[in-house]
Amino acid sequence: MTHDDAALLAALADADEDRIVFDLAGIEARYESLLRELPGVAVRFAMKACPLDEVLACLARKGSGVDAASPHEIAQAIAAGVPPGRIHYGNPVKSDTDIAEAHRLGVTLFATDSPEDVAAIARHAPGARVFCRLATDGFGALWGLSDKFGCSVEDAVLVLRAARQAGLTPAGLSVHVGSQQMTTEAWQRAFDQLTDVLEALAEDGVALDHVNLGGGLPALGYLDGHGTPLDPPLDKIFAVVREGMERCARVAGHRLHFVVEPGRHLVADHGAIRAHVSRLTTRRGADGRLRRWLYLSCGKFNGLYEMDDVRFPLVFPTHPDGPLVPATVAGPTCDSADTHTPGRAPVPVPAALASGDPVWVLSSGAYAISYMSQGFNGFAPLPHVCVGGGNGNGDTSGDGDRRGGAGGGS
């Protein structure tokens, strides 16, 4: 197994206790690469993917804003240095008190997808700007994010018309093609929807100023259940997105700029967990089959919640050579759901593993912090450390498990 993030690997090697490490310089580099691929696009980091002050501050210094899903996230982003003008309330699900609190904190741009939500925004954030989220099918993504959010093309016109009548500014449209989207076709379908609504709104005299393309840009380091790199077609995705933006910009009646909400794309591959072996066992199950199990100190409830859907690369630094044996990898708790790899497929692991040996879980920087429990079965959330970053002050570090609010994935 190789990995090109030398600072991250060095920090893992230096750690003698379990923790999650983030390389801020790597996050900055991924941010800069995104801007090169989509020049002129405004980035609003989906902070639910990694709600750490150090990461928020790092991206804010680069010019990023934040896609927030709750007043708690908004307040945290502001405290970390993100200007309120670069924060939007991207969650269509919000109570009256949450709308009022976001408005009090200085947020003026709200996502919506229903007439009821529009009416609530008009009451509790008068004069606000709104963008309407369109429903997508999520096909081709590991997490589709369909059904709960978004409205139809036809209803989007009605929602934005209602916003105008309620004294709000109908400002934009948004889509989300699903988290870890692996196809270009999903983006093409989304742009078809966007252009249909833009044309209908122009005929209705509603002029928008932006299109929010949401999240969905993939991380690059995940494996499938068989240990093969997922290898998302990122270059082709960017090409389709650029062409789709040009299509939207050609629709008469609007003067559009574009927004993206990357989450895992920025942070997943630049965070990694230093865990350790609890035990490598051999036992016969109820079906009579003899199986090996590798139990790690980190699992579903303290950093690897998404392990049902993706396989994270594992590195065993004290056993670079020697025979390998197939084992089902699991976390430390007594919950049977606390098992790594989709379908519980066996993973080749060193046969000589012993309790206490370090294990590095790569590409685990997305959602590791935000999905941690408060200590299920007494296994505490992982502390974190941040290394690198272009703040001019050398390495930054911190310990804690601060988490943000709920919302869709990215």
Active centre residues (catalytic):
334
- DSSP structure string for 193-213: HHHHHHHHHHHTT----EEE-
In the block, residue with structure tokens 């309120």: 84
Q: Is 359 helix (H, G, I), strand (E, B) or coil?
A: strand
Nearest-10 crossing angle of helices 115-124, 96-104 = 50
Strand pairing category for 129-133 and 169-174: parallel
Phi–psi pair at 220, nearest 5 degrees = -110, -10
What H or E segment, with its residue span, contains residue 238?
helix 234-249
Residue 384 dihedral angles phi and psi, to the nearest 5°: -130, 160
Tell me how far the alpha carbon of residue 90 is from its chain's centroid: 13
* Among the listed residues 234, 236, 254, 258, the one whose alpha carbon sits nearest the alpha carbon of residue 245: 258
CA distance linking residue 293 with residue 122, whole number of Å: 56
- Residue written as tokens 């009821």? 116
**Paired strand residues for 257:** 210
Q: ∠ at Cα 382 (381, 388), nearest 5°? A: 145
Alpha helices in 80-184 (DSSP H): 96-104, 115-124, 153-165
Q: Which residue reads 């066996």 in tokens?
A: 346
Angle at the Cα of 342 from the Cα atoms of 337 and 344, rounded to 5 degrees: 65
How many residues does the structure list for the chain?
410
Q: Which two tokens stand for residue 45?
A: 């980091």
